[in-house]
Structure 1
Amino acid sequence: MRLELWLGSILFIFGSLSNVTVAFVGINIAGELSNLPSPEQVVAILRAHKITHVRLFNSDVRLINALSDTGIEVMISVANSDIMGIGKSPSAAASWINTHVAAFKPATNITAIAVGSEVISSTPTAVPFLVSAMNYLYKALLASNLNDVKVSTPLSMDLIPTPFPPSTATFNHSWNSTIYDILEFLKNSNSFYMLNAYPYKDYIQHNGVFPIQYALFQPLPVVKQIVDPNTLFHYESMLDAMVDATYYSIAACITPVIPIIVTETGWPWAGAANESAATVENAETFKNNLIKRVLTGSGPPSQPGILMNSYIFELFNEDDNRSYGVYFRNGSAVYSLDLGDSMENNTGGFCVARKGADPDGLQSGLNWACGQGQANCSAIQSGQPCYLPNTVQNHASYAYNDYYQRKRVEGATCDFGGTAIITNIDPSYGSCIFKGSSNSSAGRVSPPAFGPVGPTGSASPTHRVHEIGYLMLATLLFC
C-alpha cells in the first residue's frame, strides 16, 4: 500500500504542476448571518486579517455579494436539507447553480461547492441522493461554463473507525459503496477530498493515550514520539496522522491519490466543566501552530508533496457550550490571530531537515542536494567544520540550506519530499556556518510553499520536477 501511495503522489504532482497553488489556511463562517455582524463588517474583518480563503456554511447571497472584488477564494455550501431535492432533479441543481454561483461570478471568486456537511455521519436520509446531487451540480457548472468550480462533500473522521496507525486505516465497511461512489466522482471531476478533522475531539476521546502536545503541534521528547510501526513514519502532530489515515483509507478503495483539503479543524477556547483542555491558551496555540504547520508547504509523511491546506473552525462563536470562534458575535476578538502575520513570521533565513523526518527520505534528499542539486557539501566531509555530529539529520540540514540559498532566486523551494522546513533560528554552531538571510546577501526568504509564492516569486516547474520528482522516485528504492 505504501508503494501505491508514493506512485500516486508522483502521478498527482507531475499531473498538476501547472496548477500548483500556494499553501493557505482559510476560515469557516458558520451560523445564521442575522446573528453576525453585517456582511460588510464580516468582509472588513477578513481583509483586515489577510484571510484569503473562506468557507460559507450558509450561502447567503448578501455575504457572497459582499465578497465581490476582494479576491478572497470562496467555498459555498449546499445545506444538508437541500441535498435530496437537488439529487432528484437536474433542473433543481441548475437553478441552485444559477442562484448561488453564476449570478456572482466572476466578481466573487467562488472556487468550490461543499455539498452538505458530514452527510453520511449526520443525515442518513440524504445519503442515497448525495452523489447524484454532486453529479447534477457538476454538470450544471459545466453547462454554465463554470469549469473552474470544484464540487465535493465534507466527510468526518468518524468514517474511519481506527485511524491509528495511519497505514492500516480503512473506511467503515458499512459505507463502502457510497464512499467508493464519492471517490469515483472526485477522481473523474478532478476534485479534492474534503475532510473534517478535529485533534481536540480525538485527544478527548482517547483520554490521555496521546499527549496534549501532540494534538497542539508542539514538539515531543524522543521517548514520546509517535511512530507508525508499519511505515516507521514519525508523526509530529495528530492532524498529520489524521490526514494520512484518510490517504491510506482512500488508497484502499481507489487509485490514483485524491488530494485532501481539511475543510474543518479547530480547538475550543471554552467547554463543559469536565473539558479542562478547552482553554483560550490552548485554542490560540493550536490555531497559530496549525498556520505555521500548513505554511511549511509540505504534506503529511505519506504525501509530502501535497499541500495540507486547512480551514479553521470558525470565525464567529456559535450558541453552544463549546466555543470554537476566533471572534465573538459583536466582532471583538477572543484572542489574537492573523494569517498574514503568521505567514510572514513563518519565513526565515534557513532551510533545514525536519525533526523526525524519515531517515531514508533524508538520505535521498542529501544525496540529491550534493549531486544533482549542486550544493557545496565540502563542509560536511570528514575533518571539515560541519562533519560532526556525523548524522544524516545534520548533514542533510547543511546540504538543504546550501542548495536553497544558491537556487531559491531561480525558484527553488525548501521541501525535499517533505523532509525539510524553513526556520528563523540560525542552525550554525562553532565554526560550522550556515548561509542565510542573516549572514549572507541572499536577502529575505520567500514564504515556504509548494509552488508559486506570489506574483514576484514563483517556483519554476523545472525545479519542482527535479526536486520533488527525483525525491519521490528515489524514495521508492527504499520502500
Structure 2
Amino acid sequence: MAMDTFSLFISTLFIFFHITAVASIGVNYGTMGNNLPPPSQVAQFLKTQTTINRVKIFDMNPDIIRAFANTNISLSVTIPNGLIPQLADLATARSWVGANIRPFYPQTKIEYILVGSEVLHWGDAAMVNNLVPAMRSLHHAVNKAGFTAIKVTTQHSLGILNSSRPPSSASFQFGWQQYFLTPMLEYHRQSKSPFMVNPYPYFAWNPSDNNFALFRPNPGLFDRATGKNYTNAYDLLLDAVFVSMKKLGFGDVQIAVGETGWPSAGDPGQWQCTVANARWHNLNVARKAESGVGTPLMPGRKFDTFLFSLFNENLKPGAMDERSFGLFRPDFSAVYDIGIMRQAQAGGGATPTPVTPTSGKQWCVPKKGATDASLQSNINWACTSGGVDCSAVKAGGPCFNPNTTRSHAAYIMNAYYQAKGHQDFNCDFSGTGVVTTSDPSYGACKYTA
C-alpha cells in the first residue's frame, strides 16, 4: 500500500512539474450563442493557432462538418436522440450513412459517430430500447460503406452509476445493467469502440470537497478494498466507471471522456466559479490526458478526452455558470491559458502557483506590445463576466482620462488582479498582462494594491 501511494505521488509530481505545456486535447464545440464566429473561422483558428486535435459537436451540422475538411482535426458528430428508433433498422442506418457521412468523409476526418447524448438519462422508452440496436446498425453501416476507421459510440452522464464513493463500491444502476449496459458493453468489446462517459467533478462539488474536486492538495479518500488513495474527484469518477464495468465482466473495454469542465464565472454565491479554478481543473485534466498516467486502478492508460467547452455560449439556459464553460470568448481571445496555443503565451501551461509575497506592493498592467484589440477584449470580459466594477473608467470617472484603450485596460486588469488575489495567472489575460512594482496611479486615478 505504501509503495502504491508513493508511486502515485511520484507520478503526480511528474505530471505537474515536468510537463510544461499541453500537447493536444479534444474540445466540445457547442453553438448555443448568437455571437459565435462562423464554422470556417473556428476550424482555421483551431488548426493554425491551437494544438487542439479533436473536436466533438452535438449535431450533424453540415457547415461545421465541411469546415473541418482537410484540417487534420478529428471530428466527432452526434445523431439527435429523436432519430435513434429509426436507425435501429439496418436499411435506414445505411441510408443515413450515405446521406450524412459519405459526402464529407474522408476529407473531414470523422472519428466518432455518437448515437445520441446521455440517452439513458434523458431519453424516452423508445430511445433507450433502441439505443444498442441503433449502435449496432450504424456500426454495420459504416463498415459496409468502407469507413472502418469510424467508431460508433454514445456518451453517458454519470447518472448511470448507483454510487461512486469509494470506487470499489461502485456499480451501474441496477435496472440498466442487464438489459442495456451489458449488451452495450458487449457491443463495445466486439467493435473495439470506447465506452464514453461525462465525469464532471463540478456537478458533484460541495464546499468541503473543494480541494478534492480541483486537484488541490488534500489528504485524499482512501479506498480500503483496493488500497488506493484518491486525491482528486476526476480519478475517482473514472475508476468508479471502471469498477462498474469490471463487475459486469468488461474491464477490458476502453473508456473515453466525452465531456468534463469547470465554469469560469457564475451567479452571486457560486464562488467556486472562477477563472483560476476553471483553468486549474482543465489544465490538470488535459495534462493527465496527454501524459497517459491513468488512474489508480487504470495506471498507464490514456483516455480520449474532450473538454467542455470551446466557447462561452450566451444562449444556454440556466444559471450563469452554464454559459461560462468556454476556453475562449467568441472573439477567439482566451478566457485563460492551459498551454494549447501554438504561440507561447505568458503562463504557457505552467503550474499557476501563488506569487511569493514581498514587502512591496504589486500591480497588474498591460504588457508592452499588447494590441488594442486584445486589451479591449480584456475590458469587455472583465467588466461583464469578470465581475470588475468599471465605473472609474467611464465618462466622468477619475480614470476616464486619458481616454485610451490601454489606459482603461490597465486600471481594469489591475482591479481584477487585486480582487482575485496576487497570483501570476490572475494577471495573465491571455499573455497580455504583466506584474509590476511601479505604482501606475496618476492624479485622482488611484490603483488599488
With the shorter chain as reference, the TM-score category is 0.5 to 0.7
Give 1:184's aligned residue.
Answer: 186
Matched, 1:99 2:94: no
Letter in 1 for 2:103: A
Counterpart position of 1:199: 201
Which letter does structure 2 place at the counterpart of 1:152? T
What percentage of residue pairs aligned between the two structures are identical? 32
Partner of 2:253: 258
Determine if contact 1:23/1:308 at 8 Å carries over to the other structure.
no
Structure 1, residues 331-381: CA drift from partner, whole Å, max 9, x if none?
Answer: 443223442569x9789xxxxxxxxxxxxxxxxxxxxxxxxxxxxxxxxxx
Report how far residue 301 of structure 1 moved: 1.0
Q: Which residue of 2 is the match for residue 72 of structure 1? A: 73
Residue 292 of structure 1 contacts residue 346 of structure 1 at CA under 8 Å; is this kept in 2? no
Partner of 1:216: 214
C-alpha displacement of 1:243: 0.5
Aligned with residue 292 of structure 1, among 278, 284, 287: 287
Letter in 2 for 1:184: E
Map Cα deviations across residues 60-81 of structure 1 (whole Å, 9 max, x no partner). Answer: 1111111111111111111112
Partner of 1:352: none
Letter in 2 for 1:200: Y
Q: Report the counterpart of residue 45 of structure 2 in structure 1.
A: 45
Cα 1:66–1:77 change in 2 (3 A) is: same
Asked if 1:154 is matched to 2:179, the reply is no
Deviation at 1:266, TM superposition (A): 0.3
Secondary structure of the residue aligned to 1:116 is: strand
1:85-124 aligned within 5 A: 85-87=86-88, 89-124=89-124
The residue type equivalent to 2:202 in the other structure is: Y
Q: Which residue of 2 aligns with 1:463?
A: none
Displacement of 1:272: 3.0
Whole-angstrom CA distance in 2 between matches of 1:271 and 1:84: 38
Over aligned residues, Cα RMSD in angstroms? 2.5
Q: Structure 1: which 5+ runs fail to align?
A: 1-21, 348-479
Return closer, same or farther for 1:256/1:246 CA change in 2, 3 Å cut-off: closer
Tell me how far apart the structure 2 counterparts of residues 60 and 32 of structure 1 sit (CA, whole Å).
Answer: 13
TM-score by length of 1: 0.63
| Deviation at residue 119 of structure 1 after TM alignment | 0.4
On the 8 A contact 1:268/1:278 being kept in 2, the answer is yes
AA in 2 matched with 1:43: A
Q: Which letter does structure 2 place at the counterpart of 1:93?
A: A
Contact 2:221/2:229 (8 A) holds in 1: yes
How far does residue 59 in structure 1 lie from its aligned partner after superposition? Answer: 1.9
Q: Which residue of 2 aligns with 1:440?
A: none
- Answer yes or no: is the 8 Å Cα contact 2:262–2:325 preserved in 1: yes
2:302 to 302, 307, 310: 307
What displacement does 1:115 show?
A: 1.0
60 and 149 in structure 1: CA distance in 2 versus 1, 3 angstrom threshold = same
Matched with 2:372 is none
From the CA coordinates, give the structure whose radius of gyration is larger. 2
- What secondary structure sits across from 1:262 in the alignment? strand
2:207 is matched by which residue type in structure 1?
Answer: G
Aligned to 1:175: 176
| Aligned residue in 2 for 1:359 | none
Map of 1:279 onto structure 2: 274
Q: For residue 273 of structure 1, give the secondary structure of its aligned residue in structure 2.
A: coil
Deviation at 1:295, TM superposition (A): 2.1
Residue identity opposite 1:197 in structure 2: P
Q: SS in structure 2 opposite 1:227?
A: strand
Q: Which amino acid aligns with 1:208?
A: P
Indicate how the Cα distance of structure 1 residues 253 and 23 shifts in structure 2: closer, same or farther if over 3 A, else same: farther
User: What does the per-residue CA deviation read over 1:34-84, in whole Å, with 9 as the maximum and x for residues that have no partner?
Assistant: 763111111122121121011111221111111111111111111112212
Q: Normalised by the size of structure 2, how large is the TM-score?
A: 0.67
One-letter amino acid matched to 1:148: A
Partner of 1:36: 36
| Alignment counterpart, residue 269 of structure 1, candidates 264, 267, 276 | 264
Q: Does 1:142 align with 2:140?
A: no
State the Cα distance separating 1:328 from its structure 2 match: 2.8
